């Protein structure tokens, strides 16, 4: 969704930042600035970066395949939880999956807000995005679980 870019910022000079990262982060991985916990103080620039010096493989087919597999496994796990809700009617099951979506989004992204200073707007957008996706999934998954009629 385009709203993800609305809560992200662009570097003023991407070429300069890229050159500095290539020179100072020679291998792929996560980098913290400052690295030492004792150097992390108010007023000192903090950054968390996933640096890929060789770039990101952007083959849409492969990335979509891995994403689809991850979503299928996620849906299976939530479906297994949903199977334990036979006392709920259809809309109760949809709400159950939506609540699972909020839990997934919150558990996944709140720590980044707390520990790494991700912006509140970014965190809320990602949690909302997760809620919407799982509510839509719930509309489908709830049809496959028997429960109270209604």
Residue 67 CB partners (closer than 8 Å, separation 6+)? none
Q: What is the dihedral of CA 15, 30, 104, 2, to 10 degrees?
A: 0
- The reported pLDDT for the residue numbered 147 is 72
pTM of the model: 0.69
pLDDT tens-place string over residues 100-118: 999 999 999 998 888 777 8
pLDDT for residue 99 is more than 80: yes
Higher pLDDT: 62 or 13? It is 13
């Amino acid at each position: 969704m385009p709203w993800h870019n609305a809560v992200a910022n662009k570097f003023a000079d991407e070429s300069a930042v890229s050159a500095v990262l290539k020179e100072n982060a020679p291998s792929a991985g996560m980098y913290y600035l400052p690295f030492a916990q004792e150097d992390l103080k108010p007023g000192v620039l903090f950054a968390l970066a996933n640096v890929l010096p060789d770039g990101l493989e952007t083959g849409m087919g492969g990335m979509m395949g891995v994403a689809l597999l991850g979503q299928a496994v996620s849906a299976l796990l939530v479906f297994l939880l949903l199977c334990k809700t036979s006392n709920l009617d259809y809309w109760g099951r949809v709400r159950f999956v939506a609540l699972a979506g909020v839990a997934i989004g919150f558990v996944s992204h709140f720590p980044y807000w707390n520990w790494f200073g991700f912006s509140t707007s970014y965190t809320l957008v990602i949690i909302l995005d997760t809620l919407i996706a799982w509510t839509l999934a719930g509309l489908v998954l709830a049809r496959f679980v028997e429960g109270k009629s209604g």
